[in-house]
Amino acid sequence: MTDNKTKTLKKWHLPFLLFLIIGTYLAITRKEEAKDIPFQYCEGAIFGTVYHATYQCDSSLNGKILEELQAVDQSLSMFNPNSTISQINSGKSNETDSLLRTIFHIAREVSQATDGAFDITVAPLVNAWGFGFKHGALPDSLQVDSLRQLIGWNRISLKDNKFFREDPRMIIDLSAVAKGFGSDCVAKMFRKHGINNFMIEIGGEVVTSGVSPKAKAWRIGVNKPQEDSTSTSNELQTILQMNNCAMATSGNYRNFYIDNGRKIAHTIDPKTGYPVQHSILSSTVIAPTCAIADAYATAFMVLGLEKSLQVLDKHPELMAYFIHTDKEGNYQVWKSPGIEALIAQ
């Protein structure tokens, strides 16, 4: 009986061992082959900012990268009169495209999760305060109250691939997630082409996968929130070692202006209609996708520290790194427990 069992085991042991040996050989061979594949680099202008891509591939995909980004621009750009979103906002059409529908569903989920702190209808207020695609004199309280009647993420809907607005004067603006979504689209294209090691960054919104050209985790910096409206200061607060994740940052330390001695920051609270005055200076979010990270980073700037922590408690898929001020005006950092392991030593 024992001999029969031994013979049976030996019969399937041999092919199993061969499978392991062949699998190990192939894994080692592919790893060695991967070392010989060069990294490609490219950069350019898109969405009013700059993008950088580094990816391991034996041929250039720079044209494909630009195609992906131009497709997002053609769908979401507020500055392109022929874009899908511009046609909707002007009332010429309510037809959508697949990219717009995808990002709309993401935006809606984040709006629900943050009690409307993230709101893609806030553009009239953003414009009124001088940060959008239209500029004018600063609004008074009556104008703010009037514009608030055009705000409300739950007053727009998507049905049969068409957008519907309760008020035709409402403006849908997805600029707050366009860069993150663009990074996601390029990352998806890389994976479709079998590329495992890459980094795509658009205006600070990043997706990473695998390892860098140094065969180590990608090192992504978080800027110190120094007030610099010229965007020339690049001193880092910390460096995070990342792979297979996405990161986005929002802050008020660069996009602001001074009016009669008062600092006016670009983050507008959709509920009050006024620029936020919270202690958070910089909100960095790590999430499964860059569009999600981008949306939450914006929402947390609106919510402030206490309410942001309440949202994070309900969403374990998110990690955050907040730079904020204490009562004395000193810089402080709050970070999710999982962030500690990512900080470069």
Instruction: Name the amino acid, one letter, at 154.
Output: N
Res 253: pLDDT: 62
pLDDT digits (tens, 9 = 90+) for 79-127: 899 999 999 999 999 999 999 999 999 999 999 999 999 999 999 998 8
Res 4: pLDDT: 53
Res 335: pLDDT: 96
Measured distance CA(269)–CA(45) in Å, rounded: 29
Domain locations in the chain? 178-342
CA 246 to each of CA 14, 221, 240, 274: distance values in angstroms, whole numbers, following the listed order: 43, 13, 12, 30
pTM: 0.85
Res 234: pLDDT: 72
The widest CA-to-CA distance across the chain, in whole angstroms, is 95
Per-residue pLDDT of the chain (345 residues; tens, 9 = 90+): 555 544 444 454 455 445 545 654 444 444 445 568 999 999 999 998 999 999 999 999 999 999 999 999 999 999 899 999 999 999 999 999 999 999 999 999 999 999 999 999 999 998 887 776 555 577 789 999 999 999 999 999 999 999 999 999 999 999 999 999 999 999 999 999 999 999 999 999 999 999 999 999 999 999 888 765 445 557 889 999 998 999 999 987 655 444 455 555 568 899 998 888 888 989 999 999 999 999 999 999 999 999 999 999 999 999 999 999 888 888 899 999 999 999 987
Res 321: pLDDT: 97
At the second CATH level, the architecture of 178-342 is Roll (3.10)
Both structure tokens of 26: 């192939």
